[in-house]
Amino acid sequence: IATDDDGAAHHQLVKVEFGADGTQTPVDATNPLPIEIFDAGGASVIPDIDGVVGGTDPGFPILLKHAAASARLSTADGDYDIPRMSEFGAALVEPEQHLVLDAMNSTSGWSVLGNDTINLSASTAHHVLGTAALEFDKTDGLANTKFAGVSRSLSNVNLEGLSPHDILQTVIYISDISTVDYVFLRLGNDASNLNEWRISADDMADAAWNTLIFEIGDAEYAGSAGTGINWADIDYMAVGVAFDTETDALANIAIDEISFHTNLHTNASLNSEVTTSVNSANINVQKIGNKVVNTQNGAVGTGTQRITIASDSTGLSALSGPANPTIDSYTTAAVNVATGANSELVGTPGANKQIWVYGLVLSANVAGTFSLQDEDDTALSGVMTIALAGGFVLDPSGNFAMPWITVATNKALEIDCVTCTADGIITYAIVSV
């Protein structure tokens, strides 16, 4: 037995070894002493990972670190760390579990579905997550399909035990969806045994990133191939766009990160109260009919908002076009003119005013002629021949901006009656100009 001289005090040193007889290992800094707890019968009471649960297994309290504010962990992936709890003593857990099937930060492992898909690349300029997104073009290739997409192999991904409400998710950019039928996502054991999910172009907006959520239970019935998917062994994945026809072409289709997420299930009854008060500063309508909403004035588009005016609405103002006139007065008057020239139908209206005629009915007592002019004899009609007891009608115009006759500014309206008299009705307005 050796001794250790520590400040003139001698302490005995004891050699400790562990291991089977004849193969003992000395305990030192590089070989710490293993400790195991045994019961009275000599059996270990510390259960193994994946061992069977026993009624006499020991229990240990778990201590959690108080973390008032959550923060990203600084420990490396795969290392141990301390569980955390909130201000109120609840364990901080992530209720939604997820698995990134591919971050799509590079083209490594990816290949095009056929020669209808070209120019596969990783775009670092346009992406949502990670450092890049995959881009490719649809062309009218020799494969003569309507699909543009990419595929890759996976390594025995096991998603066994999921729910029909769990989801697959990705993000896609399509500059113009007018010729797109749907976007598809495929998972399976290989290209011949898989399930397919689809989202219609009617549910997407063009020229914008769209977050697409595929519920597991919404797999496309007609999209399954072979024996379908084996959730315990997923080795194949494909994603892309189906167009209306195989001749359609489109550049710069972008897709970013494909992931699997467990979904929280809730059953809720929502009661909403509509009041006359809007508490928020504004209401932003992002889409109407899955199209980005147009703003400001301009040409009507597929996302233009429509407003219906109810038949019993009150307090409405007139909707006026660019030729909306300023009407000073609107009159219907009798016409009784004897035979002769320059007979006045409507007198001089005054400075900066005109006579606008919207309707006119005239009849003659005997055969003769009518002609209309202003007080300076500027013709407003041709010479009209009227038969015995004949006449004419100018149906009233329903548009104030479009009269039948416009008389020059501050000029009276006159009629010449040759041989006959003129009787009837005139509808006119005095308009400021």
φ, ψ for residue 257 (rounded to 5)? 50, 125
pLDDT score of 9: 63
- Least reliable range by pLDDT among 9-13, 78-82, 345-349: 9-13
Tell me the mean pLDDT in the region 146-172.
96
**18 CB neighbour count, 10 Å cutoff:** 14
pLDDT (tens digit per residue) in 179-235:
999 999 999 999 999 999 999 999 999 899 999 999 999 999 999 999 999 999 999
Higher per-residue confidence, 209 vs 316: 209
- Judge contact between 111 and 101, C-beta under 8 A: no
Tell me the mean pLDDT in the region 344-348.
95
Tell me the mean pLDDT in the region 88-105.
90
The model's confidence at residue 343, banded by pLDDT at 50, 70 and 90, is very high
User: Distance between CA 61 and CA 121 in Å, rounded?
Assistant: 52
Radius of gyration of the chain (CA): 44
Does domain 101-261 fall under CATH 2.60.120.260? My reply is yes
- Judge contact between 204 and 181, C-beta under 8 A: no
Question: How much of the chain, in percent, has pLDDT values that exceed 70?
Answer: 84
Higher per-residue confidence, 23 vs 7: 23
The model's confidence at residue 56, banded by pLDDT at 50, 70 and 90, is confident
Does 101-261 match 326-432 in CATH topology? yes
CATH code at 326-432? 2.60.120
User: Distance between CA 282 and CA 113 in Å, rounded?
Assistant: 46
pLDDT (tens digit per residue) in 116-133:
999 999 999 999 999 999
pLDDT score of 339: 95
Tell me the mean pLDDT in the region 377-391.
90
pLDDT (tens digit per residue) in 397-420:
667 778 889 999 999 999 999 999
- Judge contact between 27 and 39, C-beta under 8 A: no
Mean pLDDT, the chain, as a whole number?
A: 86
The ranges assigned to domains in the chain are 101-261, 326-432
Half-sphere exposure of 16 (CA within 13 A, CB side): 10
Kindly tell me if the per-residue pLDDT of 376 is higher than 50.
Answer: yes
The helix/strand/coil state of 297 is coil
pLDDT score of 3: 54
Q: Tell which residue, 254, 242, 286, 105, has the closest CA to residue 175.
A: 254
pLDDT score of 298: 56
pLDDT score of 428: 93
The full DSSP string for 208-247 is: EEEEEEEEGGG--GGG-BTT---TT-EEEEEEEEEESSTT
